[in-house]
Structure 1
């Protein structure tokens, strides 16, 4: 049986954030600093196993030339769904900021420099999505 190999596009900026802030407070701070309007949208659902799905808190700001997404790394857990991580290899980070700037005005270096000074961000890491073991989890 032949397999279909489809190359995925990971041409976005990915910044991992270590922060104890609640998701809505972090989204508000990012909105305030960058002039975005990150709004909580439907949680991202990933089916890791036939027995359970994992849901991840998701904030999105989208224009014609820019897409910014703030995602909580740890899934929302309850009695039916055990907790897990969107990117287990980066389980020490609380959030991911994914930026797709088609005008190429926002770079991860620029965003990281500003976020480093944000109170409540203990650490951040600029990540090459292509090098991640579970990079397919970022395709939604």
Structure 2
């Protein structure tokens, strides 16, 4: 029997990334990004889901493709709070379990970041800096900055297709 191997070439995927620090809910963040950046982010039908060690984590995804500039914007949460069940001992009559809330991250090396705004096409430097400054003006956003995608270890986690 013949086997086929499909290789995902992450190097072909070029995008820009903005890290957003904010404790607001994702739908509010999408609303404010729409207002301040003149976008039309809407929630996708399918969220981003990853299987971590003990459970399946789901990250909400909002997207918008600007027909005038061909820029595609994707807002995704970086944190997921789940309640994994760990079996401590099952050798006796009753099974003991420990339930503890745990956070898992879409991009683990940036575990302090709450949201990522991904631009699928390269925006001009001035436009990109203007976006970062506008995001910083949103009430409830503590900080926003650009991330160097070339040095990102878990770049494949941000490819949503």
Distance 1:46 1:108 in 2: 29
Q: CA deviation at 1:96?
A: 0.4
Give the conservation status (yes or no) of the 8 Å contact 1:14–1:108. no
Structure 2: distance between partners of 1:62 and 1:76:
29
Q: Distance in 1 between matches of 2:13 and 2:110?
A: 17
Gaps of 5+ in 1: none
TM-score (norm 2): 0.72
Following the alignment from structure 1 to structure 2, what is the Cα–Cα distance between the partners of residues 127 and 60? 19
Say yes or no: does 1:13 pair with 2:16. Answer: yes
Pick one of 66, 72, 75 that aligns with 1:67: 72
When normalised by structure 1's length, the TM-score is 0.82
Among 24, 30, 33, the residue aligned to 1:30: 33
RMSD: 2.5
Cα distance in 2, alignment partners of residues 26 and 111 from structure 1: 14
**Structure 2 residues not aligned, in runs of 5+:** 86-100
Q: What secondary structure is seen at the aligned counterpart in 2 of 1:109?
A: helix
Q: Secondary structure at the match of 1:101?
A: coil
Q: Does 1:131 align with 2:133?
A: no
| CA 1:84–1:73: 2 relative to 1, 3 Å | same
Are the aligned partners of 1:57 and 1:76 in contact in 2 as well (CA < 8 Å)? no
In the TM superposition, residue 79 of structure 1 has moved relative to its aligned partner by 5.1
- Distance in 2 of aligned mates of 1:111 and 1:59: 17
